[in-house]
Amino acid sequence: MFDLPALRAELSEKYDLTPSPKLAEEMSDIYARMSRVVTPADWIIYAPYVKAINDLKAKRNAVILGHNYMTPEIYHGISDFGGDSLQLAIKATEVEADVIVQCGVHFMAETSKILSPSKTVLMPDMDAGCSLAESITAEGVEEMRRRYPGAPVVTYVNTTAEVKAASDICCTSSNAAQIVAALDADTIIMTPDQYLAQNIARDVPQKNIVWWEGSCIVHEQYSAQDLRDFREWNPGTRLIAHPECPPDVCDEADYSGSTSGIIKYVTDEKPEKALLITECSMASNIADQLPEVDFVGPCNMCPYMKKITLEKVLYSLDTMTGQIEVDPTVAEKARLAVERMIDLSRKLGI
């Protein structure tokens, strides 16, 4: 737990974090990427943090990987690479830096460390978890193997290193269907997201998919009736859902896909009005590059993703605290499952 006033005071001794209209103006090229969703008044407050973090990044030879659900000042202000879970995992294998700062949630940082053990991986807030990752342990995977002998285990990256280590191959929402379809087995165990598994079962009917009963606290909140109500409330709006939503929600939507799939869909289609049935920041992060699209509410926040703030990123990079460690034996097995996913994704052209 952070003592925010103390953290702020400590940072202010080293960095000039006073809100600065002059600095905000000097950094207007960065602001231009988020000017539709971040007010000028807020940018005046953020600019000194963005500058301090970007300067420190150069000093530490660090890169920041920002997930699509980060707030715009993090996503556009300090991230060197933004993307979905798969893109960030692949990026972690490619970057040359000494330090990776993961702006996302804990399992993403752990995945980066598993793939790049020699790098220092920083997690600005260790409490940035995930309801899916918390829903299953390695024993849970073994229990599924006992229930379905011989069936391979496909595990969503939203899991701990121990769970990945107990699995055969990982997947993300952008490659799950292709990975499941490519496996040489009739019955396939998917953990831990029941809804992703049910959505994939519909997309890959030739496989018998069985699942663990985890769910995402953000996406499980939507119902098909909500979507019908949205259509009535704002006719003509394109409804776009993440596959962590229940299957009847995805069926009711005009499109369903991973966070990068959502970006591609909205970029290609440019609907006049779009409602993203996913985490709130997703729409904010693409609003400026798509001025012709009106993103309409509602806005469901992931409490874990929202634990990552500019202050915590600066503190972590300044003090080098929040370093991710993974037991080497676990990491080695988990790496196999993640690398199998990356290799198969590349082979399948995803």
Position 131 contacts ligand 13P (CB under 6 A): no
Q: Per-residue x/- mask for ligand SF4, residues 93 to 112, rule CB under 6 A?
A: ------------x-------
The option from ligand 13P, ligand SF4, none interacting with 259 (CB < 5 to 8 A, set by class) reads ligand 13P
How many of the other CB atoms lie within 10 Å of CB of 324? 21
**Binding to ligand 13P, residues 91-130 (CB under 6 A):** none
**Binding to ligand SF4, residues 196-215 (CB under 6 A):** none
**Contacting range for ligand 13P; rule: CB under 6 A; set: 170-178, 193-201, 268-276, 307-315:** 170-178
Contacting ligand 13P (CB under 6 A), which of 112, 120, 131, 158?
Answer: 158
* Cα–Cα distance for residue pair 12/204, rounded to 1 Å: 54
Query: To 10 degrees, what angle do helices 310-319 and 4-14 make?
Result: 60
The option from ligand 13P, ligand SF4, none interacting with 71 (CB < 5 to 8 A, set by class) reads none
**Binding to ligand 13P, residues 211-250 (CB under 6 A):** 216, 244
* CA-wise closest residue to 93 among 69, 107, 114: 114
The option from ligand 13P, ligand SF4, none interacting with 172 (CB < 5 to 8 A, set by class) reads ligand 13P
Q: What's the min distance (Å) between Cβ of 257 and ligand 13P?
A: 8
* Cα–Cα distance for residue pair 286/102, rounded to 1 Å: 20
What secondary structure, in 3-state letters, does 151-191 show? CCEEEECCCCHHHHHCCCEEECCCCHHHHHHHCCCCEEEEE
Q: What's the min distance (Å) between Cβ of 34 and ligand SF4?
A: 21
* CA-wise closest residue to 314 among 65, 39, 12, 29: 12
Q: Per-residue x/- mask for ligand 13P, residues 61 to 80, rule CB under 6 A?
A: -------x------------
3-state helix, strand, coil in the chain (%, to 5): 50, 15, 35
Dihedral angle sign, alpha carbons of residues 165, 323, 72, 93: negative
Position 249 contacts ligand SF4 (CB under 6 A): no
Q: Is 58 exposed, middle or buried (0-12, 13-18, 19+ CB in 10 A)?
A: exposed
Q: What's the min distance (Å) between Cβ of 45 and ligand 13P?
A: 28
Contacting ligand SF4 (CB under 6 A), which of 34, 37, 74, 130?
Answer: 130
| Radius of gyration, alpha carbons of the chain | 20
Position 256 contacts ligand 13P (CB under 6 A): no
SS3 101: strand
Q: What's the min distance (Å) between Cβ of 178 and ligand SF4?
A: 20
Q: Which two structure tokens, joined as six digits, stand for 148?
A: 């379905």
Helix or strand (DSSP H, E) at 265: helix 259-269
Indicate the residue among 84 and 203 with the shorter CB distance to ligand SF4: 84
Judged by the rule CB under 6 A, the positions of this chain that interact with ligand 13P are 68, 84-85, 158, 172-174, 216, 244, 258-259
Judged by the rule CB under 6 A, the positions of this chain that interact with ligand SF4 are 105, 130-132, 158, 216-218, 244, 279, 302, 304-305
